[in-house]
């Protein structure tokens, strides 16, 4: 195991609220909390998601985003106001020291008093475009692989800003999250053997496993348009 502990720089939660377009409901806008928050199987106390069909739930109880990605985003985005502090991407945890290449699927971590496991990466959606007012932001997150990742909760407990996150167990060292993210967003059927291998990973969220199974069987990649493109967006 070669993952040094990190500390939570920001712990963020928020309610469902309208975004800047006035019609999109989302839980992406989150605020930092200095209080200890209870982490249950479905997320942090005080946190919410607008569409529970695709956001939140046991496999996506907590979203972790590396703070070091912000510098790259600042060069891409005009919204330096949003990027001035953690929380721009709707993350619950912000740290410095870990990224998608250093974290592996299935990693079991001590998160404050809770025990969590890396379950999947993020599949960015069009609400990022609305949040930033910048078309193509979700696709840029996908293409760059700077997605962050989600945890499932193995043991509930209290979590607080400043608490340590430490690796306890690494069952799949050959599967860094960056490998899985690149595989998920690859459209080349030559990756079919790797899709089959990924579908067998017991620690991977079932939705990702099902996606890989379908691809391996059909040799086709699903249409991403509904996820990446703002509905009824002005084409100009």
Q: Which CATH number fits the domain that encloses residue 84?
A: 2.40.33.20
Read off φ and ψ for residue 148, nearest 5 degrees: 75, -170
Q: Does the residue 214 lie in any domain? A: no
Q: What would the two tokens of residue 84 be?
A: 């001035």
Picking from 109, 114, 192, the residue whose alpha carbon sits closest to that of residue 149 is 109
Q: Does the residue 201 lie in any domain? A: no
- Domain coverage including residue 86: 6-186
Question: Per the structure, how many domains does the chain have?
Answer: 1
Q: What global pTM score does this model have?
A: 0.96
Q: Does the residue 199 lie in any domain? A: no
Dihedral sign for Cα 86, 7, 173, 213, please. negative
- 12 SS3 class: strand
Q: Does the residue 176 lie in any domain? A: yes
Q: Does the residue 34 lie in any domain? A: yes
Q: Does the residue 112 lie in any domain? A: yes
Which tens digits make up the pLDDT trace of 52-92? 777 889 999 999 999 999 999 999 999 999 999 999 999 99
pLDDT band at 232 (very low <50, low <70, confident <90, very high): confident
Q: What is the pLDDT of residue 233?
A: 64
Q: Please, what is the average pLDDT of the chain? A: 95
Q: Does the residue 113 lie in any domain? A: yes
Q: Does the residue 30 lie in any domain? A: yes
Q: What angle do CA 46, 49, 52 make, to 5 degrees?
A: 130
> Is pLDDT at 231 greater than 50 in this prediction?
yes
The mean per-residue pLDDT over the stretch 187-192 comes to 92
């Amino acid at each position: 195991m070669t993952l040094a502990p990190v500390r939570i720089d920001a712990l963020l939660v928020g309610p469902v609220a309208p975004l800047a377009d006035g019609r999109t409901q989302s839980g992406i806008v989150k605020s930092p909390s200095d209080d200890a928050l209870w982490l249950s199987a479905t997320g942090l106390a005080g946190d919410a998601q607008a569409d529970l069909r695709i956001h939140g739930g046991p496999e996506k109880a907590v979203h972790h985003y590396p703070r070091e990605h912000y510098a790259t985003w600042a060069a891409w985005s005009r919204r330096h106001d949003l990027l001035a502090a953690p929380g721009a991407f709707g993350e619950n945890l912000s740290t410095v020291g870990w990224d998608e290449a250093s974290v592996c699927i299935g990693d079991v971590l001590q998160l404050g008093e809770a025990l969590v496991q890396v379950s999947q990466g993020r599949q960015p959606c069009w609400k990022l475009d609305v949040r930033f007012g910048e078309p193509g932001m979700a696709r840029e997150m996908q293409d760059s692989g700077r997605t962050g990742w989600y945890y499932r909760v193995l043991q509930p407990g209290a979590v607080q800003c400043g608490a340590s996150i430490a690796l306890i167990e690494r069952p799949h060292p050959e599967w860094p999250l960056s490998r899985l993210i690149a595989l998920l967003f690859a459209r080349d059927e030559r990756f079919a053997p790797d899709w089959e291998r990924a579908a067998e990973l017991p620690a991977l969220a079932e939705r990702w496993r099902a996606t890989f199974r379908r691809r391996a069987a059909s040799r086709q990649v699903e249409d991403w348009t509904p996820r990446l493109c703002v509905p009824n967006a002005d084409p100009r």
